[in-house]
Amino acid sequence: MSTANPEIGKKVRTGGFESNVHDQGTSAPGQPPVLFVHGSGPGVSAWANWRLVLPRLATQRRVVAPDMLGFGYTDRPQPADQAGVYTMDAWVQQAVDLLDTLDIAQADLVGNSFGGALALALAIRHPQRVRRLVLMGSVGVRFPITPGLDAVWGYTPSFENMRRIMDVFAHDRRLVNDELAKLRYEASIRPGFQESFGAMFPAPRQRWVDALASPEAAIRALPHSTLVIHGRDDQVIPMSTSLTLAQWIPDAQLHLFGRCGHWTQIEHTERFVRLVGDFLAEADAAASAAA
């Protein structure tokens, strides 16, 4: 029986460190790969966020999902050197370095929560590197921090704390059992994980919501076609953030999932895959028609 850890992909050089990256599928000529950026929950990794989505979309196109700096199995600085390391500048640079190393001139971006804020910032700062955007339960505009997000970022390791946070993430409590909570708790206490996580979002945490936000004028100037997705019952990121993004981004469409919390890609996997696949396929068809 294989004991390989599915969270570990391949090592890719990104600037001064190596990133753990999942790279699956093949894109047709002229079809850009899709870069998936995970959220910021305790013990999270690209695989934990996207494990149900990547194999399905990899049948249609190339998909790339890195562990961002400070998360998962990407190299991380020593604890004494972590203060001030985890910034939007650093995360955007990591994403650009990853695209450069993999020789990807342009990608579609799918960002979950914290990853949505990063995808938004990358599209604003490097618009030519992005074709289309998908923002799911996204941060990236200012909002009063929710009790749910404050609890997620304030997590301290224990099974009981992880169980409570899992209840906040999902609307359907059938998805949240002791086995899942145990897996996520064990992930959160792997060497280096909690040290990095604790250094990212110390209290008071409203400042980190603000730090992840992009300027309104820059969002309004985005030229990219954007799909905004949110769970109507999300207790972590308020639905108002996606309503704002859909209003500000000129070429945006909004899809709300009822009976859904912060885990759209897990609670409604098949619908999410169809929605994103169709949205990206539209751009493929348009590019083929223009060729």
Assess whether 38 carries a catalytic annotation.
no
Q: Which position among 22, 38, 255, 262 bears the catalytic label? A: 262
Q: Which position among 67, 108, 234, 284 bears the catalytic label? A: 234
Contacts of 289 (CB under 8 A, 6+ apart): none
Assess whether 234 carries a catalytic annotation.
yes
Query: What whole-number distance in Å separates Cα of residue 281 and Cα of residue 227?
Result: 13
- The neighbour count for residue 187, using CB atoms within 10 Å, is 18
Query: Are the beta carbons of 58 and 84 closer than 8 angstroms?
Result: no
Query: What whole-number distance in Å separates Cα of residue 263 and Cα of residue 13?
Result: 30
Q: Which position among 19, 40, 45, 113 bears the catalytic label? A: 113
Give the residue carrying structure tokens 């966020």. 49
Please state, in angstroms and as integers, the Cα–Cα distance from residue 277 to each residue in 76, 136, 245, 269, following that order. Answer: 33, 14, 21, 12
- The SS3 of residue 8 is coil
Read off the tokens for 89.
């500048």
Assess whether 113 carries a catalytic annotation.
yes
Read off the tokens for 73.
């199995």
Q: Calculate helix-pair angle for 88-101, 114-125, nearest 10 degrees.
A: 70
Q: What angle do CA 131, 136, 141 make, to 5 degrees?
A: 90
Give the residue carrying structure tokens 């650093």. 90
Q: What angle do CA 158, 163, 164 make, to 5 degrees?
A: 100
Please state, in angstroms and as integers, the Cα–Cα distance from residue 151 to each residue in 70, 82, 139, 154, 231, following that order. Answer: 19, 22, 16, 5, 19
Read off the tokens for 104.
């990807």
The catalytic residue positions are: 113, 234, 262
